[in-house]
Amino acid sequence: MNIAVFSTKGYDRRFLETANQSHGHAIDYFEPRLTAQTMPLAEGYDVVCAFVNDHLNADVLHHLAENGTKMIALRSAGFNNVDLAVADELGLTVARVPAYSPYAVAEHTIGLIMTLNRRINRAYNRVREGNFALDGLMGFVLRGKTAGLVGTGQIGAATAEILLGMGCEVIATDPYPNDELISKGLRYVELDELFAESDIISLHCPLTQESRYMINERAINEMKPGVMLINTSRGALLDTAAVIEGLKNEKIGFLGLDVYEEEENLFFQDLSDQVIRDDVFARLLTFPNVVITGHQAFFTEEALTTIANTTLENISAYEQGGPVPNTVTSERVVSG
Ligand code: NAI
């Protein structure tokens, strides 16, 4: 099949080229994100291969379908950036990579928790400047603290196992409870109970109409004073303005983010010699108790290998006319 890969970085190309040795597809790589402006680049390609910040809205999908595209191969687990109802209507097959390394994201989540708690970001800078004072670096022992996980799918479950191993009390909400986690000591509770009981809250659910802005002013008011909030899932799970208020009035004691609602204009590029025009993001950077990484939680050798292999396997299955694994439609999500 001929494939147009959007939002290509050097590492995407390297891993896809390696994986393609056993598939033999004709792949062209485009650096820009897929948007209404760049969609003409996809004309004539059977498959459009997209990542998290590519636009697959109604306009773009119509243009793709009218110009020969039959399949959207997502290099991500999340598919909130695709208008699935329109994709279904146009007969476009949409496939994703359901689990490329839940451990990569879970371990990064723990990295954010540890960095915030023991102020490793601040300590790193101080020591480099010959400042060995400890004031302002005090942390707390994680053992015995309550961690609340919103979502115990692949990533939430992997995070739960690490936190249980560290001696935390782990509570969670998920419409589909995981019995194995219950047997290991995790307790499912209602969302308001999770907000009220948790010392650390970490989000691992997908972004949907229902979950958008689940962390809003009302939710923050229900939380413990000084709560640690971690989001490695999708930016719009948080109402960022409400979170900034929570940081200013010190209700939120720590904030760790790997995702941001307006990340598409910032993340995955070097903007170090430019002015950041997003005042909300710039405000977040001013807090000493906020650590932000640029959507790197997945970014491991293992995850990139799986992303490349699964993406090309999905495409090859489509080419062979068999059932395409990992498809998503507006009605159902097929895993595996
Ligand atoms: P998954 O599909 O295995 O698990 C999601 C879980 O959330 C499911 O068990 C589902 O029942 C539950 N859920 C759905 N709505 C919920 C709600 N309103 N409240 C509580 N639970 C709810 O997905 P996985 O692989 O664990 O990924 C989770 C999210 O992590 C993805 O949707 C994606 O947005 C994000 N992600 C972030 C990455 C990064 O690099 N930062 C990389 C990969 C995924």
Query: Does residue 28 form part of some domain?
Result: yes
Best residue among 105, 207, 263, 298 to mutate for probing ligand 1's pocket (most ligand atoms within 8 Å of CB) is 105
At 246, the pLDDT band (50, 70, 90 cuts) reads very high
Query: Mind listing the pLDDT tens digit for each residue in 267-317?
Result: 999 999 999 999 999 999 999 999 999 999 999 999 999 999 999 999 999
**Ligand 1, CB within 6 Å, residue ranges:** 77-78, 99, 102, 105, 150-156, 173-176, 204-207, 210-211, 232-234, 258-259, 295, 297-298
Is residue 144 domain-shared with residue 265, that is, in the same domain? yes
Six-digit token pair at 271? 């903007």
Catalytic residues, by residue number, are 234, 263, 295
Residue nearest to atom 32 of ligand 1 (CA): 206
Query: Does residue 325 form part of some domain?
Result: no
**With contact defined as beta carbons under 8 Å apart, do 51 and 6 qualify?**
yes
Is residue 83 domain-shared with residue 134, that is, in the same domain? no
Considering its fold, how many domains does the chain have in total? 2
Is residue 155 domain-shared with residue 218, that is, in the same domain? yes
Is residue 38 domain-shared with residue 133, that is, in the same domain? no
Is residue 63 domain-shared with residue 14, that is, in the same domain? yes
What spacing in Å lies between the alpha carbon of 172 and ligand 1's midpoint?
Answer: 13
> Which atom of ligand 1 is nearest to 102's Cα?
25
Query: Mind listing the pLDDT tens digit for each residue in 31-63?
Result: 999 999 999 999 999 999 999 999 999 999 999
Best residue among 173, 233, 293, 335 to mutate for probing ligand 1's pocket (most ligand atoms within 8 Å of CB) is 233
Query: Mind listing the pLDDT tens digit for each residue in 99-136?
Result: 888 999 999 999 999 999 999 999 999 999 999 999 99
CATH code (residue 238): 3.40.50.720
pLDDT above 70 (res 335): no
**With contact defined as beta carbons under 8 Å apart, do 30 and 38 qualify?**
yes
Query: Mind listing the pLDDT tens digit for each residue in 138-152?
Result: 999 999 999 999 999
Supply the DSSP string of 207-224, one letter for each residue. Answer: --TTTTT-BSHHHHHHSP
Please state, rounded to an integer, the average pLDDT across all residues of the chain. Answer: 96
Is residue 77 domain-shared with residue 181, that is, in the same domain? no
By residue range, what is the domain housing residue 220? Answer: 102-292
At 332, the pLDDT band (50, 70, 90 cuts) reads confident
Q: What burial letters (b/e) apply to 270-297, b meaning 16+ CB within 10 Å?
A: eeeeeeeeeeebeebeeeebbbbbbbeb
| DSSP-derived pairing of the beta strands 187-188 and 200-203 | unpaired
Q: How far apart are CA 27 and CA 108, in angstroms?
A: 31
Query: Does residue 215 form part of some domain?
Result: yes
What spacing in Å lies between the alpha carbon of 208 and ligand 1's midpoint?
Answer: 10
At which residue do the structure tokens 């999708």 appear? 234
Q: How far apart are CA 5 and CA 14, in angstroms?
A: 12
